[in-house]
């Protein structure tokens, strides 16, 4: 079985660490079990590291600081490093999400998995090679 190639937005990873249940956690679990092949690039790596270092986000999280970093290292171990050589700049509503589209194109991803799909609506560039899905849509197999 060939794993579906995805770009895992930080919103999904962080939500998986904050809540012990739910579709965010299930997506992370399936990545770690290699049912999905997450892509990782320089910009996404920097974003993950930045968000993981914000302790206030994790107040009340069932996962300790050390466990968060261990899970991140585990995610990195199953991720495919992908270099982005071309900046598409689809001019998304949230400019800081453009790198996710560039990573999806460079790595031939089938989907960007995010909790913020509205941020991808109205892009000036359209790509038919991948979809933008919520964790629930990915788990349910919604095309």
pLDDT digits (tens, 9 = 90+) for 90-106: 565 556 668 898 899 99
Q: What are phi and psi of 4, to 5 degrees?
A: -70, 130
pLDDT, tens only, 13-63? 999 999 878 999 999 999 999 999 999 999 999 999 999 999 999 988 888
Under the banding of pLDDT at 50, 70 and 90, the label for residue 122 is low
Which of 24, 2, 19 has its CA nearest to residue 138? Answer: 24
pTM: 0.89
Q: What local confidence, expressed as pLDDT, does residue 46 receive?
A: 96
Residue whose token pair is 């989907």? 111
Phi-psi category of 124—alpha, beta or left, where left has phi over 0 and alpha has psi -120 to 50? alpha
Tell me what the mean pLDDT of segment 62-91 comes to. 88
* 8 Å CB contact between 129 and 108: yes
Q: What local confidence, expressed as pLDDT, does residue 101 receive?
A: 87
What percentage of the chain reaches a pLDDT higher than 90?
Answer: 64
Q: What is the mean pLDDT of the chain?
A: 87
Q: Is 88 exposed, middle or buried (0-12, 13-18, 19+ CB in 10 A)?
A: middle
Q: What local confidence, expressed as pLDDT, does residue 98 receive?
A: 81
Under the banding of pLDDT at 50, 70 and 90, the label for residue 88 is low
Strands 36-40 and 4-8 come out as parallel
Q: What is the CATH number of the domain that holds 95?
A: 3.40.50.1010
What percentage of the chain reaches a pLDDT higher than 70?
Answer: 83
- Is residue 73 over pLDDT 70? yes
Ordered DSSP codes for 27-84: HHHHHHTTSEEEEE-HHHHHHHHHHHT-GGGGTT-SS-HHHHHHHHHHHHHHSEE---
Tokens of 107: 């790595």
Give how many domains the chain has, as a whole number: 1
Q: Which residues pair with 6 in a beta bridge?
A: 38, 111
Instruction: Residue 97: give the domain boundaries.
Output: 4-140
């Amino acid at each position: 079985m060939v794993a579906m190639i995805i770009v895992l937005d930080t919103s999904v990873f962080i939500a998986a660490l904050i809540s012990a249940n739910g579709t965010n956690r299930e997506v992370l679990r399936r990545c770690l079990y290699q049912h999905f092949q997450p892509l990782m690039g320089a910009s996404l790596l920097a974003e993950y590291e930045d968000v993981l270092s914000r302790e206030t986000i994790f107040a009340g999280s069932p996962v300790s600081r050390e466990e968060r970093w261990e899970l991140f290292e585990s995610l990195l171990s199953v991720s495919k490093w992908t270099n982005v050589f071309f900046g598409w700049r689809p001019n998304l509503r949230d400019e800081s999400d453009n790198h996710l589209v560039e990573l999806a194109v460079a790595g031939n991803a089938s989907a960007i998995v995010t909790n913020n799909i509205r941020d991808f609506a109205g892009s000036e560039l359209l790509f038919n090679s991948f979809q933008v899905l919520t964790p629930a849509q990915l788990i349910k197999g919604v095309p």
